[in-house]
Amino acid sequence: MPLVACPTCGKRAEYEGNEFRPFCSERCKLLDFGAWADEEYALPTQDTALSEEDVEQIERALREKQRQA
Amino acid sequence: MTKPKSEYGADSITVLEGRDAVRKRPAMYIGSTSEIGLHHLVYEVVDNSVDEALAGFCDTIEVTIHIDNSITVIDNGRGIPVDIHKQEGRSAAEVVLTVLHAGGKFDSNSYKVSGGLHGVGVSCVNFLSEWLKLEIWRDGKTYEQEYKVGFPVAPLAETGKTTKRGTKITFRPDSDIFETTEYSFDKLSERLREKAFLNKGIRILIKDEREMPEKSHEFYYKGGIAEFVKHLNKNKSPLHEEPLYFEQVAEELSVEVSMQYNDSYDEKIFSFANNINTVDGGTHLSGFRGALTRTINAYAESSGLMKNSKTTLSGDDVREGLVAVISVKIPQPQFEGQTKGKLNSPVKGQVESFLNEKLGEFFEQNPNVAKKIVGKAVDAARAREAARKAREIVRKSALGTSTLPGKLADCQEKDPALSELYLVEGDSAGGCFSGDTRVALVDGRTLSFLELIEEERAGKHNYCYTIRRNGKIGVEKITNVRRTKREASVIKVVFDNGEEVICTPDHRFMLVDGTYKSACELLPTDSLMPLNRKFSNISEKGITIDGYEMVWDAKSRSWLFTHLISDWYNRFTNRYLKSDGDHCHHIDFNKLNNNPDNLVRLSKEAHLELHRRHAGKTLHRDDVISKCRELRKSPEFRSMMSSRMKEPTTRKILSTQAKAQWSDASYKNFMAARWREFYDNNADYRAANARQLADAQRKYWSEPANREKQADRTRDFFQRNPERKEELSLLARRQWQKSDLLEWRRKTTANQWTDEFRQSRKEALNKTYFRKTMSLLKEIEIEFGNLEVGVFQERRRQKNDRSILRFDKFCDRYFNGDQDKVAEAVKNYNHRIVRIEPMIERIDVFDLEVPRTHNFALASGVFVHNSAKQGRDRKNQAVLPLKGKILNVEKARFDKMLGHGEIKALITALGTGIGKDDFDLSKLRYHKVCLMTDADVDGSHIRTLLLTFFYRQMPELLEAGHIYIAQPPLYKVKKGKKEEYIKDEPQMFKYLMRQATSDVQVTAGGRSIEGRELSKFLEQTVEYGNYTSRFVRRLGNDMKLLEAILEAFAGRDGILANNNFRLRKIFQSEDLIAVVEGKIAEAGYRTELLSDDEHGLTEIEVTMPNGTKMVFDWNLASYVEFQKSVDLKKQLDATYSGPYVLGENGKSESFDSRADLFEKVMALAKKDLNIQRYKGLGEMNPEQLWETTMDPEKRTLLQVRIEDAIETDEIFTILMGDQVEPRRKFIEDNALDVKNLDV
């Protein structure tokens, strides 16, 4: 498996053979666990209509992402 | 450095003997005879030179390792004094080399500060050397002396002249003393480098002659310990570029501190006192640590960086990744401990306050660096806290299975390989009751759950009252009574009939409309489905049998005999034979035991015969006889009493007494007050009174003359107030003047009012009318004890709610005008709760199952849900309900997350533990962990959260393939009696296509299209519609413009119809793009060709009808939506040309556009279908859930691969990230669903 982005700090980290995968370090993994335990991860539930501009902006971002991939 | 105060002369040397002592116990003086002690000899000599440097007389020290591992140390100081020592009668130099603890350092006048690890002096080196040669350059002369094993071979002698200044000592460690005499260049270098760092400005050279070519280093650091810190950090990534450096020089205490953080988690702090490495720290280090912790905490607090943290930053937190050197210089330092590695001088306070000030100042002036440093400490604290939480969870889960989460409905299977865990979104589906909660049984008893368990174990079948799916009351068998949870938290629900129930807060109660509500959400205004029972009374109308149990049926609003319901149950379950006869008999002769098992059917003859034979068991039972006797007694007694009271003499006496009393005014007042009191406190009396009044009122209004009078009054009002009349009529007229409004209204109404609509509206209204009217009647009944029709009419007028019906109308519509029946229905309408009390005590709770209907009545008179049946196979399927917690972050936004408790429950249920040291895959309790969530945004959120959690904190589960996604169907389609479940949107579309194409004929341009081709044609049509509708937004939603453009590109005569150009080519060629421009112009737009310099292409500027200009260029054309639209149009136009004819049942209809054709086909497909879209798992009953989603024979489980999880994590990261709000929304609306459907 290729490198993955460490969910906490974003650093590229080896996946295979990494004790703290997908994190780069024990620290980052712990911080993530702390965030779960402290209920810091929340996803927005209410959807409102998007403006044209918003859609443009997002699609640009996504295209950018695709190109990088 | 401080200036020398006095000359360094022989008289300042104190003499002590000790060569033999040193050689006998060398370790006491130099630490050891190992490599460390060996190297120490060099440092001891060098330290002498450093002292000279500190005193300001020397700036270069040279160390050489010779090939025989002898060492030479040369400095350019003043040279050791050579004059003759007064007491000893020897040269001062000789004293220094032969007397322990000699040397300038013993006299605080000589040097302000001085080092030397153990302060033993160079004499030690001499004593432990095989030989030592001393050369002194002083006052233009050279002096030499040689020693053997510590003894001078001859006195110090002047040997020549020189221009140099300084001391040279060469020695060879004694191999009799040392375990090794081999020097390490690197070790010496390291330590000498340290000395150079600590004493900025001193140049230290080291040379190793043992190797060819010679190795050498030169250490010279202007920056002092700041450079030391940099050096220590050289292979690390520093958090901030420059080390912090603070210095204070003073007579009593000089402090020098330098520090720099790197991104590692270790701390590396060196502390020195007078150049001595205090390996065990001491007061100076404590001061440093204290100041660091204090200042960083203070900054974190004031800058708001600690906002989200619940703990303060500990010393460990603030020192994580810290590299620091602290060096103090004090006169006469005090050390402590065997190796004297700890400073004991009282400097803590001074060091601390100095640093508090300096560090605080630095943070104020360098907020960026401060933020980085404090941020790192905050991270450290959070990690520490997280690790603690992880340990806490593990510790709890390690206590054994008895601490499994209360919400977990575990399976019986103990082998993880065979066990499955379903993570279900939503409320706990397993509400339960306390063990002493009583259930109403149809055999006339009420039993507690505990008793039911006993009886079930003994093999007895018990039956409960239940509300059947059609809303009628029925009976049903009780199965699987059991304890469901230990130590559950419970609440007490108190009802208006005084009964109480203790149950889990999530237990669901049935409302009168057949829906359910959790106990904790019940309000006093909720109408609960009631269980009402009574005994039949032969005096009532239509009742021919006495003393039989009857039960209220909310559906028919009437009393039904329980034994007839049980009888019906027996018929329904085919317990009777046709030949059994029509008479229903209670086997045990107890007419109150209506247990279906207690009923048989007999012929009339057999039944009568049976009862004749067993009269002793029924009418002639002793208790029956005695009861009758009692009854006979009382009327006689009563008539006797009443006749006595009626005798004329008694009455006369009473009457005169009363008259006398009433003539007294105070008595009259007193009585009036008493009456008032009585009236106020006696609801029954008031009710009777009110009834009389109401009757009178009714009577009044039933007189036509009275009603006439009221009508006159109204008429009179408007006559006297014509302006009011005018006003009202004007208003009405004005409102209805607008013709378009009228027209629109007429049309909408006409369209709306189909027969179907009318029917459903009528039903809905009837329900509302009934509910609202009933509620008000019930309210009055509760208040007055019976139905006060007058009060009702009055309240109805006050409320001005038109869905509350007039009483008579209500009677007519729902009760055939029978007021008694209304009163009965009101009385039995509902139960309500009075209050809910939380219970502190945790108790074991119980539940039972009711097949088919899934509800049962408690003895307290309410119906509750039987929730245990979850559509799972309890043998090997466990269920853990997880509830997304709603968090109100801002006014208009709600966030969903997994609460702390949910995470804990999840980890505990899985059994693996969590974290580096505790996670153990082999302890996983279920080898299949299935995520089962609703098919809506919330469901996908929960799934995203869970998958992300697994990926991040338990990737091992994913790697081993233990995580699955269950696939509940999205649709149920019913055609006639056939039901089918459909997994998702694409499947639904396929299904509809199959339906649509099975019995229609379609021709396009005269060609008949059938079967698979027809499906594909329609699919492509939809696809085309989707792409164009997406793309048209970019053209200001101008469909006409889009059509013109697409026609130009891909129409039958379009540029691409006969050429295989690539799209970009059209923008390259001015001729080709001109064709497009022409088509747009044809459609009625003003256009102009412009050059697209950015791409070296040509573009079209179009003036939109509203005057704005837009550019159609390669950039727009490169959108996928456009290219797909072009491709599809080209293909569709080429293969299927219009007109499109649809034939069905011999009729045919023609369409110009493919979209219209598609609409019609879809309408036909849906015509006979009843499509139900499941929004949540809760909409499926347990059987359906089992059948579609959990039955291993039929279900499809999708195994989640690590790649899927990585993708989910990316989505999650974007959702969580600091990106702009719209992006979150977009992904929520689009990417999330699409992606997740794929996994």
For the domain that residue A8 is a member of, what is the CATH number? 3.30.50.10
| Partner residues linked to B463 by β-bridges | B477
Task: Inspect the interface and report whether the beta carbons of B1225 and A57 lie closer than 8 Å.
Answer: no
- Phi and psi (nearest 5°) for B621? -65, 145
Of residues B894, B1219, B1231, nearest to A46 (C-beta): B894
Tell me how far CA of residue B525 lies from CA of B552, B855, B858, in angstroms.
21, 22, 20
How many Å lie between the alpha carbon of A12 and the closest alpha carbon of chain B? 13
- Measured between CA atoms, the residue of chain A closest to residue B1212 is A43
**Residue B42 is which amino acid?**
V
Residues of chain B neighbouring A26 (CB-CB closer than 8 A): 916
Residues of chain B neighbouring A33 (CB-CB closer than 8 A): 386, 389-390, 914-915, 953
- Distance CA(B1124)–CA(B1126), nearest Å, equals 5
Which of B225-239, B528-542, B751-765, B1062-1076 is most confident? B225-239
Task: Inspect the interface and report whether the beta carbons of A34 and B897 lie closer than 8 Å.
Answer: no
Residues B297-321, mean pLDDT to the nearest whole number:
84
Q: Across chain B, what does the average pLDDT equal?
A: 83
Of residues B385, B1210, B1223, nearest to A61 (C-beta): B1223
User: Does residue B869 have a pLDDT over 60?
Assistant: no
Residue ranges of E strands in B364-437 = 420-425, 433-434
Residues B306-330, mean pLDDT to the nearest whole number:
86
Task: Inspect the interface and report whether the beta carbons of B916 and A26 lie closer than 8 Å.
Answer: yes
pLDDT in tens, B43-99: 889 988 888 888 888 999 999 999 999 999 999 999 988 888 777 788 888 888 888
Percent of chain B at pLDDT exceeding 90: 22
Cis peptide before A22 (omega within 30 of 0): yes
User: Does residue B1049 have a pLDDT over 60?
Assistant: yes
Tell me how far CA of residue B299 lies from CA of B264, B314, B398, in angstroms.
22, 14, 40
Rg (CA), chain A: 16
Structure token digits, residue B637: 């007694």
For residue B202, count other CB atoms closer than 10 A to its CB.
25
Q: Tell me how far the alpha carbon of residue B322 is from its chain's centroid.
A: 35
- Distance CA(B474)–CA(B560), nearest Å, equals 10
The per-residue pLDDT for B15 is 39
- Distance CA(B206)–CA(B183), nearest Å, equals 12
Of residues A20, A37, A44, nearest to B903 (C-beta): A37
Task: Inspect the interface and report whether the beta carbons of A5 and B941 lie closer than 8 Å.
Answer: no
Residues of chain B neighbouring A37 (CB-CB closer than 8 A): 386, 389-390, 900, 903
- On whether the CB atoms of residues B967 and B1200 are closer than 8 A, the answer is no
Classified as helix, coil or strand, B350 is: helix
Residues B664-693, mean pLDDT to the nearest whole number:
88
pLDDT in tens, B163-181: 999 999 999 999 999 999 9
How many Å lie between the alpha carbon of B1202 and the closest alpha carbon of chain A? 10
Of residues B900, B1033, B1213, nearest to A7 (C-beta): B1213
| Partner residues linked to B74 by β-bridges | B62, B168
Residues B912-939, mean pLDDT to the nearest whole number:
86
- Distance CA(B113)–CA(B102), nearest Å, equals 15
- On whether the CB atoms of residues B588 and B598 are closer than 8 A, the answer is yes
Residues B296-322, mean pLDDT to the nearest whole number:
84
Domain annotation covers residue A12: yes
- Distance CA(B941)–CA(A43), nearest Å, equals 7
pLDDT band at residue A9 under the 50/70/90 scheme: confident
Residues of chain B neighbouring A47 (CB-CB closer than 8 A): 937, 1225, 1228-1229
pLDDT band at residue B587 under the 50/70/90 scheme: confident
- Measured between CA atoms, the residue of chain B closest to residue A20 is B916
- On whether the CB atoms of residues B835 and B495 are closer than 8 A, the answer is no
Residues of chain A neighbouring B1227 (CB-CB closer than 8 A): 58
The per-residue pLDDT for A65 is 63
User: Does residue B932 have a pLDDT over 70?
Assistant: yes
Which of B70-79, B398-407, B692-701, B972-981 is most confident? B70-79
Count of CB contacts below 8 A, A vs B?
Answer: 136
Task: Inspect the interface and report whether the beta carbons of A20 and B916 lie closer than 8 Å.
Answer: yes
pLDDT band at residue B1161 under the 50/70/90 scheme: confident
Strand pairing category for B928-932 and B420-425: parallel
Task: Inspect the interface and report whether the beta carbons of B1225 and A38 lie closer than 8 Å.
Answer: no
Is the torsion defined by CA of B904, B908, B911, B915 positive or negative?
A: positive
- Distance CA(B689)–CA(B785), nearest Å, equals 12
Q: How many helices (H) and strands (E) does chain B have?
A: 40, 50
Task: Inspect the interface and report whether the beta carbons of B951 and A22 lie closer than 8 Å.
Answer: yes
- Distance CA(B451)–CA(B511), nearest Å, equals 27
Domain annotation covers residue A35: yes
- Distance CA(B1188)–CA(B288), nearest Å, equals 67
Residues of chain A neighbouring B902 (CB-CB closer than 8 A): none
The per-residue pLDDT for B353 is 94
Between positions 230 and 269 of B, the ones with CB within 8 A of A are: 265
ipTM over 0.90: no
Classified as helix, coil or strand, B103 is: coil
Determine what percent of chain B falls in helix, strand and coil, rounding each to the nearest 5: 45, 20, 35
pLDDT in tens, B821-862: 888 888 888 888 888 888 888 888 888 888 778 889 998 889
pLDDT in tens, B520-577: 888 888 888 999 888 888 877 778 888 889 999 988 888 899 999 998 888 888 888 7
The per-residue pLDDT for A44 is 66
pLDDT band at residue A59 under the 50/70/90 scheme: low
- On whether the CB atoms of residues B933 and B419 are closer than 8 A, the answer is no
Residues of chain A neighbouring B389 (CB-CB closer than 8 A): 33-34, 37
Q: Tell me how far the alpha carbon of residue B7 is from its chain's centroid.
A: 77
How many Å lie between the alpha carbon of B1119 and the closest alpha carbon of chain A? 10
Name which residue leads in pLDDT, B498 or B441: B441
Of residues B945, B949, B1231, nearest to A43 (C-beta): B945
pLDDT band at residue B140 under the 50/70/90 scheme: very high
Residues B1100-1119, mean pLDDT to the nearest whole number:
86
Of residues A34, A41, A46, nearest to B383 (C-beta): A34
B915 and A CB contact within 8 Å: yes
pLDDT band at residue B117 under the 50/70/90 scheme: very low
- Measured between CA atoms, the residue of chain B closest to residue A54 is B1222
Among B27-36, B83-92, B714-723, which is the least confidently predicted range?
A: B83-92
- Distance CA(B1182)–CA(B868), nearest Å, equals 10
How many Å lie between the alpha carbon of A7 and the closest alpha carbon of chain B? 7
How many Å lie between the alpha carbon of A38 and the closest alpha carbon of chain B? 7
User: Does residue A48 have a pLDDT over 60?
Assistant: no
Which of A20-34, B60-74, B699-713 is most confident? B60-74
B1116 and A CB contact within 8 Å: no
Domain annotation covers residue A27: yes
For residue B388, count other CB atoms closer than 10 A to its CB.
14
Among A4-13, B60-69, B878-887, which is the least confidently predicted range?
A: B878-887
- Counted domains in chain A: 1
- Distance CA(B363)–CA(B371), nearest Å, equals 8
Domain annotation covers residue A54: no
User: Does residue B235 have a pLDDT over 90?
Assistant: no
User: Does residue B956 have a pLDDT over 90?
Assistant: yes
- Measured between CA atoms, the residue of chain A closest to residue B904 is A37
pLDDT band at residue A3 under the 50/70/90 scheme: confident
B1226 and A CB contact within 8 Å: yes
Q: Tell me how far the alpha carbon of residue B390 is from its chain's centroid.
A: 16
Of residues A1, A39, A57, nearest to B900 (C-beta): A39
Which of A43, A50, A52 to mutate against chain B (most B CBs within 10 Å)? A43
- On whether the CB atoms of residues B79 and B93 are closer than 8 A, the answer is no
How many Å lie between the alpha carbon of B381 and the closest alpha carbon of chain A? 9
Structure token digits, residue B753: 């009012």
For residue B507, count other CB atoms closer than 10 A to its CB.
26
Domain annotation covers residue A65: no
- Distance CA(B169)–CA(B154), nearest Å, equals 16
pLDDT band at residue B17 under the 50/70/90 scheme: low
Strand pairing category for B446-448 and B438-440: antiparallel
Classified as helix, coil or strand, B855 is: strand
- Distance CA(B356)–CA(B246), nearest Å, equals 11
Which of B385, B1226, B1227 to mutate against chain A (most A CBs within 10 Å)? B1226
In chain B, what's the furthest Cα-to-Cα distance?
164
User: Does residue B427 have a pLDDT over 90?
Assistant: no
- Phi and psi (nearest 5°) for B231? -60, -45
Tell which residue, B227, B279, B265, B259, has the closest CA to residue B326.
Answer: B259
Identify the domain containing residue A35 by its residue range.
1-41
Domain annotation covers residue A19: yes
User: Does residue B5 have a pLDDT over 50?
Assistant: no
Task: Inspect the interface and report whether the beta carbons of B897 and A37 lie closer than 8 Å.
Answer: no
User: Does residue B156 have a pLDDT over 70?
Assistant: yes
The per-residue pLDDT for B927 is 95
Task: Inspect the interface and report whether the beta carbons of B953 and A29 lie closer than 8 Å.
Answer: yes
Domain annotation covers residue A17: yes
The per-residue pLDDT for B812 is 87
Tell which residue, B819, B815, B832, has the closest CA to residue B779.
Answer: B832
Among A57-61, B856-860, B896-900, B1230-1234, which is the least confidently predicted range?
A: B1230-1234
How many Å lie between the alpha carbon of A3 and the closest alpha carbon of chain B? 11
- On whether the CB atoms of residues B938 and A43 are closer than 8 A, the answer is no
pLDDT in tens, B511-520: 888 888 888 8
Domain annotation covers residue A7: yes
pLDDT band at residue B896 under the 50/70/90 scheme: low
Among B15-24, B320-329, B843-852, which is the least confidently predicted range?
A: B15-24
- Distance CA(B147)–CA(B156), nearest Å, equals 10
b/e per residue B471-494 (b: at least 16 CB within 10 A): eebbbbbbbebeebbeebebbebe
- Distance CA(A11)–CA(A29), nearest Å, equals 13
